[in-house]
Amino acid sequence: MGSTVEDAATFCRETVARERCAVHSYVMSRSGSVARYYWCLRHNRVETDANACAARHRLGPYGSEEEAERALERVAERNAEWDAEDARWAGEQN
């Protein structure tokens, strides 16, 4: 007895449907966890989950308020590291 396209389609549809029935909400995933902190680029301040601006306006999450306060400093450090790496790599290619 051979497989048909219809058999495969039915199998996939039923398998996917079963897998997609599991529900996991943001509220459930955040229950019992510690607070997260963000650096808001719009307001230039630390924000938490309770008062955070839209994701496009913030950096993070960070584990502490102090880490969030250092967000722009950390971005500058990483950019300098990446620029140095890019320059080193480009030099090796010439």
Given a cut of 60, whether residue 9 has pLDDT beyond it is: no
Q: Per the structure, how many domains does the chain have?
A: 1
Return d(Cα 38, Cα 64) in angstroms, integer.
9
Token pair recorded at residue 72: 């722009």
**Mean pLDDT, the chain, as a whole number?**
79
Reported as a single tens digit per residue, the pLDDT across 11-57 is 555 544 444 444 444 444 555 568 999 999 999 999 999 999 999 99
Q: For a pLDDT cut of 70, what percent of the chain falls above it?
A: 62
The beta strands (E) that lie in 1-94 are given as 37-40, 45-48, 58-62
The domain of 19 spans: 5-93
How far CA 81 is from CA of 2, 73, 75, 85, 88, in Å, comes to: 58, 13, 10, 6, 11
Residues 6+ apart with CB under 8 A from 45: 39
